[in-house]
Amino acid sequence: MDYDYVIVGGGSAGCTLAARLSEDPQLQVLLLEAGGSDWNPLFHWPAGFARMTKGIASWGWSTVPQKHMNGRVFRFTLAKVIGGGSTINAQIYIRGNKLDYNEWAQLGCTGWAYDDVLPYFKRSEKNQNGASEFHGAFGPLGVSNPVAPLPICEAFFKAAGELGIPHNRDFNGSQQDGVGHYQLTQSNARRSSVVSSFLHEARSRKNLTIRKNVFVKRIVVESGRATAVELAGETIHAAREIILSSGTVGSPKLLMHSGIGPADQLKSVGIKPVHDLPGVGENLQDHLDLFVICECTGDHTYDKYAKLHWSALAAIRYLALRNGPVASSLFETGGFWYADENARSADIQFHLGLGSGIEAGVLKPKNPGVTLNTAYMRPRSRGTVRLASNDPVAPPLIDPNYWSDPYDKEMSLRGLRLARQIMKQPALKPFVLREIIPGSDLASDEELIAYGCVNAKTDHHPVGTCKMGIDEAAVVTPDLKVRGIEGLRVCDASIMPRVTTGNTNAPTIMIAEKAADLIRGITSAAPSTK
């Protein structure tokens, strides 16, 4: 069969893009995904997120040893399932700060300022609170308020207020500063992934073909044009374009295996360069997370539900009533504040975890606990994605290069110290007994740096490795076309020139919404309607 567009990667961007392009019945669209189906109930139950960081539906990759963090190797969870990150994430709906996008535009990314992208956020959104200046109500993506907050969440708001941090009812509205409940990509207390939202209607269209468990080895380039994708024993041609939506690691990896990337590095692993594009795999950015875990005075969080009999009762309650622990994403409370008092906008993010040891690699104490994560939002450190060999199946060399810029380390420590302060405020005294991680005996910068080197984790927000721009380091132009290659675009979080202030799923969906219009030659977003 002949296809107009072949989309490689069925994650947050790829599924969104496939749904939008296939709205035109004249177009034949093929979506290829390396992972399998989202059949497991854990993909749909909000609290299932806690199992995902432990490796379910992921590639199982890790970073190279981090030279600025005592050689630490980080687990790097990247989705390998239809729906990508939207199928396994914590469902937090954060768009970022409006200044993030204005900075993109200032860097030469014309058409990507906040006023340009807001209509695409609104178009995708079916917000529980209805339509407004900042929100849409008729899109496919369910966006809802938490259904299972606990009293400790309100105490957290009051504790932050005791330090002068205000309450914020809408982090995606006029102001990002403050603490509050996050809105979530959920609908009827179920995860609203791009599969259950964008693909729900689209998958029945005759002009959309979806293939799962398909691994793309390389892109075929002929006379400077991308013409086909090569699978094991099969080549699929695209009449118009091939669009890479394989993510911040997967997209540069596939480009390099196709001979598109830094020529010297490709030669060093035995790949013949097709097009020397030095920026491929550069500019990797991620949010590095430090956390405080406190022992609670009682069962104030969901920790007890880790035990089998309590888990069973929670599952029954969820199936019957659509509430309780299973309906919680576990990190649905938090906010934004300042590590650098001179920052142009809030530069740290908090996630209040309604338990302890929720994510893989995080120590779980004996008694019920609560976690406060903190991450510096605008890191100056830049890393890389490189190839280990010319074998397309081999894991890549992922180097976030955490804390390579000393400023990032300083801001991380300031965020950690603020998190510790919040947890010690009077409003939390009825709920919090004591800090157990890092522990009150650790106080100096040196001690907290050592703690961070052992315990820090990724927030799972990698971006930037096929950055959009107009400079020589750019991989794609502002219309997402790969520089120097015809018929090839990239559409996913890898195109972000700078990471956004917050979780990255919503911005990635927005990128795909805008990409669909760019591909179709539509200059402004038409709103979703009933």
Measured between alpha carbons, how far is 7 from 242 in angstroms, rounded to an integer? 6
**Hey, what are 101's tokens?**
């996008």
At 157, which amino acid appears?
Answer: F
C-alpha to C-alpha distance for 51 and 73, rounded to whole angstroms = 20
What are the residue numbers of the active site?
461
List C-alpha distances in Å: 56 to 84, 249, 251, 518, 524: 12, 18, 21, 34, 38
Residue 412 neighbours by CB under 8 Å, 6+ apart: 288, 290, 339, 374, 375, 376, 403, 452, 456
Burial code (b: 16+ CB inside 10 Å, e: under 16) for 119-147 equals bbbbbbbbbeeeeeebbbbebbbbbbebb
Whether the CA torsion 464, 124, 503, 9 is positive or negative: it is negative
Question: Is beta strand 234-244 parallel, antiparallel or unpaired with respect to 348-353?
Answer: unpaired
Distance CA 22, CA 519 (A): 12
Q: What is the C-alpha to C-alpha distance for residues 179 and 480, in angstroms, rounded to an integer?
A: 35
AA letter at 365: P
Tally of residues, the chain: 530
- Cα–Cα distance, 214 to 81 (Å, whole number): 11
Rounded-to-integer distance, Cα 339 and Cα 349, Å? 10
Task: Quickly count: other Cβ atoms within 10 Å of residue 452's Cβ.
Answer: 24
Reduced to 3 states (helix: H, G, I; strand: E, B; else coil), residue 99 is helix
Cα angle value 209/214/220 (rounded, 5°): 90
Q: Are 307 and 423 in contact (CB under 8 A)?
A: no
161 touches 167 (CB < 8 A): yes
